[in-house]
Structure 1
Amino acid sequence: MDNRLGEMEVFVQVARTGSFAAAARALRQTPSAVSRAVARIEARVGTRLIVRTTRSLRLTQEGETYLLRAGDVLAEVDAIEGSLDRGSAEPSGILRVNASVPFGMHVLVPMLPAYLADFPRITIDLTLTDEVVDLVEARADIAIRIGPLRDTRLRAKRLGSSRMVVVASPGYLAEHGSPDHPAELERHRCLNFSFRRSLDSWPFRVDGAVVQRPITGNFYGNSGEIVRIMAIGDGGIARLARFHVGADLASGRLEPLLESFNPGDAEDIHALYAGSERLSPRLRSMLDFLGERMTVEG
């Protein structure tokens, strides 16, 4: 009997768990049955989808493509069956979410109790990281990204945008003074990022034109949250998204600087996911929830 849909579900489970044994436990099958199902798929498509080692496995490029398309097919099946019986379409299962540390801690996590109260049959598996990760490799159902979109394989839902702001603590400014012009930053300790997209300059609007002002400092962090904590601890001047430091500005832990020179640049916030027009109920529930609850603008 042809059971391609069942084998497809096996493959998706293997890719998401990263293990034949873990997939077998989740599906209540034997590891050998899981291995045979994947082997049958590879035989049909005529190429290897998974590279196995003694300790781990990884998807080939063809495997990543198959995973995305398989997710579409399984979501379509869920949507079809759910449309026939809305009572059985209540969102359920594990929803794997990936987000940056600042967004996760300051925006997403505070909203999750309300989400789980609305959808008690869903289990959230949340990973926070400031590294730019591949959605497929991270085995995430949805990833929230700040800034330009790079992965054209994925669909995106815009959630809002957040303006950048230069900030420092009252303690730092009391000791080192407050800069009145971007040129004065050269004598200040500026806090920067160590990941790939960081730059050793910040944009400012000077005499009607946006210019890049070089910055100097003795601290680099691989997380926006680390840079924020350093700034609160009198460690220097930082440039962060307003959603990240909004509570600190309101409480006086941080003060905005050089606002008359702020170029007004903002970073868009998107939810990225792999899927078709018909999404699984659990993925749709999260996208709708974020769209309704998020007010990150300005």
Structure 2
Amino acid sequence: MDRLTSMAVFAKVVGEGSFAKAARQMRLSPAAVSKHVQLLEEWLGARLLNRTTRRISLTEAGASVYERSLRILEDVEEVRTSTAENMVRPSGVLRVSAPISFGALHLGSIFADYLAMYPGVSIELVLDDRVVDMVDEGFDVAVRIAPLKDSNLIARRIAPSREIVCASSAYLARHGRPMKPSDLTKHDCLDYALRADRGNWRFEGPEADVTVKVAARMTATNGQILRDAALKGAGIILCPTFLVGEDIRSGRLEPLMPDFKPVGRSIHAVYPSRRHLSAKVRSFVGLLADRFGEEPPWDR
């Protein structure tokens, strides 16, 4: 029998002034009630109750234990209640990890809306292109575009991450326009250094998949730096459309090789466990999926 239950039974016996009444209130047998009190006395090494055939009374030790038991049981109930509320109503600190460029470009307005929707929540956002250890570093949710490797995490796809090859008109005027992936070996390319297949650009062609090893004139661990360099005419960039969608629509960058589609990725929201998922995590991941979806804003 667990000690917390024994403590609750003891407090009920004192409150009701009777083993029989306590048994009825707690839907236990009188023998079970007596056993709980006996085990509590044995654990504490003190007699808690004076018992006669007509009444019970607290010993000096019993009076002290009774007062402390009430406080402990109240604290436990408060923990249970607040935890239950957190499971149904978003509250507390939501700690989120996201890639630098994606977070800076696309998460700000979503966080603002989320805070307005749930005033009981505060947010800690950490922008970092490395794959964080969610449990050790205390993250509730991570937005990931990298391949998922940790099978202990739950992943929900929130959007596609389509990729595109593009360059500025100034660069194309100077160097010409590549028509097929093998032409890229003759061009200045801007390559993302944290890509798992760094230096190898993969395409889905009309007849077969193609991989070409590019000569990177510039590498960087941040996509926005590469985008800025491409806008200035420094070279050809392979990057996600979430980074250059507006540049493509405005004509600042021109898409290349329409017959060869770069192999894309998925954007996932990942979290440690589906079991006992808190309301703050559930509501935030749901909002991400609603705002992005299969045709996210940057691809419209």
Q: TM-score range by the shorter chain?
A: 0.5 to 0.7
Kindly provide the amino acid, as one letter, of the partner of residue 271 in structure 1: A
Q: How does 1:286-297 map to 2 (within 5 A)?
A: 286-297=284-295
Kindly provide the amino acid, as one letter, of the partner of residue 278 in structure 1: H
1:232 — aligned with what? 231
- What SS class does the counterpart of residue 281 from structure 2 fall into? helix
1:72 — aligned with what? none
Contact 2:199 2:216 in 1 (8 A): no
Kindly provide the amino acid, as one letter, of the partner of residue 288 in structure 2: L
Tell me how far 1:96 sits from its aligned partner: 0.7
Instruction: Mark the CA change 1:295 to 1:196 in structure 2 (over 3 Å): closer, same or farther.
Output: closer
Q: How does 1:137-216 map to 2 (within 5 A)?
A: 137-195=136-194, 197-206=196-205, 208-216=207-215
CA distance in 2: counterparts of 1:185 and 1:78, whole angstroms = 62
CA distance in 2: counterparts of 1:125 and 1:113, whole angstroms = 12
Tell me how far 1:178 sits from its aligned partner: 1.6
Kindly provide the amino acid, as one letter, of the partner of residue 85 in structure 2: G
Deviations 1:20-54 (A, max 9, x none): xxxxxxxxxxxxxxxxxxxxxxxxxxxxxxxxxxx
Contact 1:156 1:270 in 2 (8 A): yes
Kindly provide the amino acid, as one letter, of the partner of residue 277 in structure 2: L
Tell me how far 1:79 sits from its aligned partner: 8.7
Unaligned stretches of 5+ in structure 2? 5-78
Tell me how far 1:237 sits from its aligned partner: 0.7
Instruction: Mark the CA change 1:217 to 1:276 in structure 2 (over 3 Å): closer, same or farther.
Output: closer
Contact 1:130 1:224 in 2 (8 A): no
CA distance in 2: counterparts of 1:99 and 1:280, whole angstroms = 19
2:14 — aligned with what? none
TM-score, L = length of structure 1: 0.67
Tell me how far 1:2 sits from its aligned partner: 7.3
Instruction: Mark the CA change 1:123 to 1:187 in structure 2 (over 3 Å): closer, same or farther.
Output: same
1:53 — aligned with what? none
1:269 — aligned with what? 267
Tell me how far 1:248 sits from its aligned partner: 1.4
Tell me how far 1:165 sits from its aligned partner: 0.7
Contact 1:146 1:270 in 2 (8 A): yes
Count of aligned residue pairs for this structure pair: 221
Percent identical residues: 38
Deviations 1:220-241 (A, max 9, x none): 1012222222212222111111
Contact 1:156 1:273 in 2 (8 A): yes
Deviations 1:130-162 (A, max 9, x none): 112221233211001114211111111111212
Tell me how far 1:196 sits from its aligned partner: 6.0
- What SS class does the counterpart of residue 260 from structure 1 fall into? coil
CA distance in 2: counterparts of 1:146 and 1:222, whole angstroms = 14
- What SS class does the counterpart of residue 248 from structure 1 fall into? helix
CA distance in 2: counterparts of 1:248 and 1:79, whole angstroms = 48
- What SS class does the counterpart of residue 279 from structure 1 fall into? coil
Contact 2:145 2:161 in 1 (8 A): no
CA distance in 1: counterparts of 2:82 and 2:278, whole angstroms = 6
Unaligned stretches of 5+ in structure 1? 4-75
**Larger Cα Rg: Structure 1 or Structure 2?**
2
Deviations 1:82-112 (A, max 9, x none): 39xx9xx532221111011122122222322
Instruction: Mark the CA change 1:197 to 1:118 in structure 2 (over 3 Å): closer, same or farther.
Output: same
1:110 — aligned with what? 109
TM-score, L = length of structure 2: 0.67
1:255 — aligned with what? 254
Superposed CA RMSD in Å reads: 2.6
- What SS class does the counterpart of residue 135 from structure 1 fall into? coil
- What SS class does the counterpart of residue 134 from structure 2 fall into? coil
